[in-house]
Chain A
Amino acid sequence: MLLMTEGEYIEGLKRGDEKVFREFVDQHQLSLLKLCIGFLHNEEDAKDIVQDVFIEVFQSIGQFRGDALLSTWLFRIAVNKSMNQIRKSKSIRILSNIDSVMPFKKKAIADITDESEISDRHIETKEQAKIIRRAIDLLPRNQRIAFILSKYQDLSYKDISGVMNISLSAVESLIHRAKLSLQKKLYNLYKKKLI
């Protein structure tokens, strides 16, 4: 795999060079998949969003001003598209969900939005994973984004501040609050012997 510099990628993409574009996709695909899976928890959805991101980059590269790193811009697009997809999925779920009119139907553990609804019993690892992901999904928007960028993408706080366009101290605060919130949720689950 030929490693290109940031400037070479930008020039090649602006020229519409397919070879450069292929190289660019190859280089960044995996990190974008990791990021999107953190938001969407579904491999196919994550792949669709990653494709959308690369298509947008290819079509909008002319508008890239170069005031941030190309990777920062890439992650920014990926975060926005992932959050939009979540919003869209939520609307579809609300419209198509008929469970609310069937009061005696058992909810799947992953559908439970409030841990106080969970009954007191041990759950298998797969279900535990769903609960933990759900706890992350329930974080306030910016805390969730910062946490996922940190935990799933392993970005430094400085890089996260670039992606989210906020100060370094704001990133530290968001992640600190996200961790406290998760800790609290997970401790409640631990007390109920659910993790």
Chain B
Amino acid sequence: MKCNSIHNQLIGYLDDEIDNDLRNEIEAHLKECSHCSEFLIRLKKAFDLVDEEKQMQHDPYMITRIIARLEDRKPMILKNKFRMAFQTVAFVALIAIGIYSGILIGKNFTNESPISADYQNEIYYLDELQHENMISVLLTD
């Protein structure tokens, strides 16, 4: 097995994620190749340094700080809720005012331009069918 192929497998070898055949091949190569076996040692050391970093300690004051932050946020949460309620009411009021203004404008427009009596008669004559049945018109002399 060539060194390049070995390098690609070494992290898997360290994590015990390779099958037995591959493991045996790698170990056979490592016995004969000081370059690869030295690299394996360095690689293991590198990941041991990573393992050291994750050795965190339980923080006994964490919950106290969290509770304190939640307490600080309460007035802000109430303020935000009030602001949201106010915004909703303001929005609904604006819509209502808009609709009412539209109705008022529409009414004024209707009042300012009444249909004239002559125009009304014209409409009447154009729509005579409602007042005189077509059959009776055809049947009379």
Contacts and interface: CB of A to CB of B under 8 A. Distances in A.
A92 to B, nearest CB: 22
B26 interface: no
Contact of B50 (A30, A136, A184, A190): A136
Chain A interface extent, by class: 35 or more
Main secondary structure of the interface of A (DSSP, over half): helix
A37 B56 contact: yes
A43 B62 contact: no
Interface in A31-62: 33-34, 37-38, 41, 43, 46-47, 50-51, 54-55, 58
Main secondary structure of the interface of B (DSSP, over half): helix
Interface stretch (A69-77, A125-133, A138-146): A125-133
B30 interface: no
B39 A190 contact: yes
Given A129-B49, A179-B12, A183-B7, A51 B69 contact: yes
A30 B56 contact: yes
B68 to A, nearest CB: 10
A132 B50 contact: yes
B123 interface: no
Given A30-B56, A55-B69, A125 B49 contact: yes
A109 interface: no
Which 3 A-B pairs have CB atoms at the shortest separation, nearest pair first?
Answer: A129-B49, A33-B56, A179-B11
11 contacts: A22-B63, A25-B62, A26-B63, A29-B62, A51-B62, A128-B45, A129-B52, A136-B50, A151-B47, A151-B50, A179-B11
